[in-house]
Structure 1
């Protein structure tokens, strides 16, 4: 039986998972939590094989939590389950250590497949993203922009686009303010902008907020 922890701050999502896998032959929902911080206490106290987590979480975002969980519990595999654009976040989360990315718009059988693959140590991506990885999409500006950015740069850009200040970003990502400034300078250069307003507009065009 694959023991799954669901991390999402929307009760309709966590309840949906519990109903979907109630009496399932292979998957058991062993718990649900509503924030990134709560994951750590839960996995220390319970046996978990796979975590299904939203990116947008209170207190600690899903990508930062993902990195920390994989460092502390490398045997636990994590599937990111989010409404954020797949073309921006799928590869970013896999670089950070996830075992797959599933959009919340997908049918329920897709998340089931992703959980099973994660448990087997494999990675799930949609057919669209799998093809994209083997295809140089020179016409897709979002993809071209994304490829220039590291995982951490995507995180910083997202937080800047949501209105966070350097100090707040440093606290959320557990880095110092000087490092945040360094990432901002890299973003200015890579996205060819010279002020914060234009940088934030770039983030909004990429649907990072």
Structure 2
């Protein structure tokens, strides 16, 4: 069985210890390294050219820059981002910078081990939340192109969202159409996840939509004329 040298970087000790315990239960981890800041992490990468995997917590700071720096010193090391929650633009920037995988702290122990396994096997791993957000982004772009097409029916009448939603519901809709998860929205607005879920259900009922994709189409039908 392969022996792996893994670096786990996160500002919270409990996260580092938990990830290391999960990794050690499923893999032979040789000389595990823990760091808690950007500078410590980059220094550890420079001092350990034989690293197989770097797991980065999103609370370290400018991860896209760190990932780029790691890639300069160690092009072959696998990088897995373990984010507190999903923020779509940030997640995409991490992947563009060179990360091999992305998942959030909503992941189960089984999913975390699965993500590590794939990344160590030189495969890419994207959590379901991110895949759904990417699908929504693709759908949104297609809707946008259709709405501004010169062949668009000029007699279409948009539905008004402003008259149907409260200020808080509009804020939640704005985040939903950007591909944000319920947990991420709760973090942005400093409210409970259950509160976001309740507002989301009310919004869907008010607007007569069944999912976020239908919400996106209605939103752009309202705004792009």
TM-score over 0.5 (shorter chain): yes
What is the SS of the residue equivalent to 2:100? coil
Structure 2, unmatched stretches of 5+, are 144-172, 180-225
**2:22 corresponds to:** 20
What is the SS of the residue equivalent to 1:56? helix
Separation of aligned partners in 1, 2:130 and 2:116: 18
**2:81 corresponds to:** 80
1:11 is aligned to 2:13: yes
Deviation for aligned residue 1:141: 4.4
Deviation for aligned residue 1:15: 1.5
Distance 1:27 1:115, change over 3 A: farther
Distance 1:45 1:84, change over 3 A: same
Aligned partner (choices 41, 44, 47) of residue 43 of structure 2: 41
Separation of aligned partners in 1, 2:108 and 2:29: 17
**1:51 corresponds to:** 54
What is the SS of the residue equivalent to 1:9? coil
- In the alignment of these two chains, the number of paired residues is 144
Separation of aligned partners in 2, 1:24 and 1:101: 19
How much is the aligned-residue C-alpha RMSD, in angstroms? Answer: 2.6
8 Å CA contact retained: 2:86, 2:129: no
Which structure is larger by alpha-carbon Rg, 1 or 2?
Answer: 2
Distance 1:22 1:114, change over 3 A: closer
Separation of aligned partners in 2, 1:18 and 1:29: 11
Distance 1:71 1:107, change over 3 A: same
8 Å CA contact retained: 1:22, 1:28: no
**1:104 corresponds to:** 105
